[in-house]
Amino acid sequence: MHELAVAQGLISEAERVADMHRALRVEHIVVRVGALSGVEAQLLERAFLVARAGSHAETATLEIETGDIEVRCRTCGAIGPATINRLICGPCGDWQVDVVAGEDLLLVRLALTGLEDEDEVGDGTPAPAVSPCPATIL
């Protein structure tokens, strides 16, 4: 189950960012999974539940965004959308294309709580920090 290794890498990166911000907990993780990444979203969700145990993200929720596929045509130079089983240029129909998006697995955002220097929202409760985290997991 390759998704377990991916989930463990995701937790490691989330913990690194939490430590960098001196946060006690990771509350929410958003990850973008490209359609050609080889990662199954349902399996990643299950593996995440195992990988988060005993970490700063032990109670964190996982949100998975699906990334679209884009190709660049070697013949006409057009860049456009494609589908998993049809990696061809839309404008000219050529099959000689390079994938420019869709193979990625990206940690997009984290919500952190328990920060040392937390700002407070209007009612006196600590505001969770949201950290944009463009980091490739594997």
List the one residue out of 109, 133, 113 whose CA is nearest residue 121. Answer: 113
The structure's pTM equals 0.76
CATH code of domain 2-67+104-136: 3.30.2320.50
pLDDT band at 122, cuts 50/70/90? very low
> For residue 115, what pLDDT is reported?
73
- Cα(33)–Cα(106) distance, rounded to whole angstroms? 7
Q: Residue 75 CA to chain centroid, in angstroms? A: 32
Q: Helices then strands (H, E): number in the chain?
A: 2, 7
Q: Residue 127 CA to chain centroid, in angstroms? A: 23
Q: What is the mean pLDDT of the chain?
A: 86
- Cα(16)–Cα(7) distance, rounded to whole angstroms? 14
Q: Is the pLDDT of residue 128 over 60?
A: no
| Tokens matching residue 62 | 């996982």
